[in-house]
Amino acid sequence: MTKLSIYTGVFLIILGIASYIATGAASATALIPAFFGLAFVGLGFLGNRSENMRKHSMHAALLLAILGLGGSFGGLMSVFGVLGGGELERPAAAIGQAIMALACIFFLVAGVRSFIEARKKPAADTTFEDGNLD
């Protein structure tokens, strides 16, 4: 999960820089995905430092993904609105937000699946050690 946090962070940094360039460097808000990406990378590296920090940093990374999704969800809805015949006022910004929202959704799904698997694994190991096969 820590590697996924780092990869997601690098992707968001690249997205933020590309969005900034695509919008003609008109506003620093296009760099917001890059700031989220820096936080993801930092949490990924922090999680690699020790087993105790891994749980906390990955929970923080999931919270960051929820916040990122909340902030970029409007762009995703704007892009879906185009499919219904609407128009985008700022297409580059909306597309950047939509891509960030999708990256955050992907990270959330992978994180929840990872946590579920982590919960199942210790339970299976302890029942085997106790001699129970149930």
The conformational region for residue 121 under phi > 0 = left, psi -120 to 50 = alpha, else beta, is alpha
Burial pattern 26-45, b for ≥16 Cβ within 10 A else e, equals eeeebbbbbebbebbbbbbe
What is the domain partition of the chain in residue ranges? 2-129
Q: Using one digit for the tens of pLDDT, what is the confidence trace for 76-125?
A: 788 777 777 777 777 778 888 889 999 999 999 999 998 888 888 765 55
- Residue type at 45 in one-letter notation: F
Contacts of 83 (CB under 8 A, 6+ apart): none
The whole model's pTM is what? 0.80
pLDDT digits (tens, 9 = 90+) for 15-74: 999 989 988 888 888 899 999 999 999 999 998 898 888 888 999 999 999 999 998 888
What is the longest distance spanned by two Cα atoms in the chain?
65
